[in-house]
């Protein structure tokens, strides 16, 4: 079995974190880089990632996240916030980044820029929001895989009230919406969930070859 599959069998949605164990700065940077390198539609990365270290902020978030202990006990709390309505300016900035990174004249990317704008800016507002939130899920998946490689526990969460998290972190003022919360750290020895057998559909049930 490959190390990747071993890591996938090792990881689980941790229910109880050991509050005394903290992620090193080196490992945190590894996780941040894994998030940064995540694939996204057009490469736009229409989201921001907030690493909430402040105990005060985390204490405020806990009640609006169903009171889950992971919010305050995990080493780090990471909030993925999608851009609610991507703008022409954000696409222009992305194209500028491409040209600067690859040493290309801005004119050479005009056609691609216009193509992106025609596909994205014409979407209804709710569709833009849904589309960008899907990109944040890709980033969260990469975080989970990278963390498993380092034997760092990650619990992805949708159990929170986005509007209230937005208010606490001031996301709504930035045109952002809290899509996902992930708690990152190390499992507590008393977390019985770590001993449960992983339950997944069989390959025969899950896959269809056409």
Q: For the chain, which residues make up each domain, given as ranges?
A: 3-86+121-187
Query: Once rounded to an integer, what is the mean pLDDT over residues 186-197?
Result: 97
**Average pLDDT value for residue range 115-130:** 97
pLDDT band at 2 (very low <50, low <70, confident <90, very high): confident
Q: Quick check: 50 pLDDT over 80?
A: yes
Q: What is the mean pLDDT of residues 108-127?
A: 97
Q: Residue 1's pLDDT is what?
A: 55
Residue with tokens 């990881």: 11
Phi-psi region of 152 (alpha: psi -120 to 50; beta: other; left: phi over 0): beta
* Dist CA 128 CA 174 (whole Å): 16
- Output phi, psi for 208, to 5 deg: -130, 125
Give yes or no for residue 30 having a pLDDT over 80.
yes
- The helix, strand and coil proportions of the chain, stated in percent and rounded to the nearest 5, come to 55, 15, 30
CA–CA distance, 51 with 28 (Å, rounded to integer): 10
At residue 51, what are phi and psi to the nearest 5 degrees?
Answer: -100, 105
| pLDDT over 60 (residue 21) | yes
Task: Tell me if residue 144 falls in helix, strand or coil.
Answer: helix
Q: What gap in Å lies between CA 7 and CA 90, rounded to an integer?
A: 36
Give the Å distances, CA to CA, from 206 to 22, 201, 202, 203, 209. 37, 6, 6, 5, 10
Alpha-carbon gap, residue 26 to 48, rounded angstroms = 21
The average pLDDT across 124-150 equals 97
Give Dmax (Cα) for the chain: 59
Superfamily of domain 3-86+121-187: NADH Oxidase (3.40.109.10)
């Amino acid at each position: 079995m490959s190390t990747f599959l071993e890591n996938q069998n090792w990881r689980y949605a941790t229910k109880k974190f050991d509050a005394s164990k903290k992620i090193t700065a080196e490992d945190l940077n590894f996780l941040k880089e894994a998030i940064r390198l995540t694939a996204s539609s057009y490469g736009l990365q229409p989201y921001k990632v907030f690493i909430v270290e402040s105990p005060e902020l985390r204490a405020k978030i806990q009640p609006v996240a169903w009171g889950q202990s992971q919010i305050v006990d995990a080493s780090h709390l990471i909030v993925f916030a999608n851009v609610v309505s991507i703008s022409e300016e954000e696409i222009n900035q992305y194209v500028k980044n491409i040209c600067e990174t690859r040493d290309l004249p801005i004119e050479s990317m005009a056609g691609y820029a216009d193509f992106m704008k025609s596909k994205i800016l014409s979407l209804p507002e709710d569709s833009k929001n849904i589309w960008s939130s899907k990109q944040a899920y890709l980033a969260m998946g990469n975080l989970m895989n990278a963390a498993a490689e380092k034997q760092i526990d990650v619990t992805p969460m949708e159990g929170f009230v986005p509007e209230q998290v937005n208010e606490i972190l001031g996301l709504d003022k930035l045109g952002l919406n809290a899509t996902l919360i992930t708690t990152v750290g190390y499992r507590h020895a008393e977390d019985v969930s770590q001993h449960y057998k992983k339950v997944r559909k069989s390959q025969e049930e899950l896959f269809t070859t056409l």
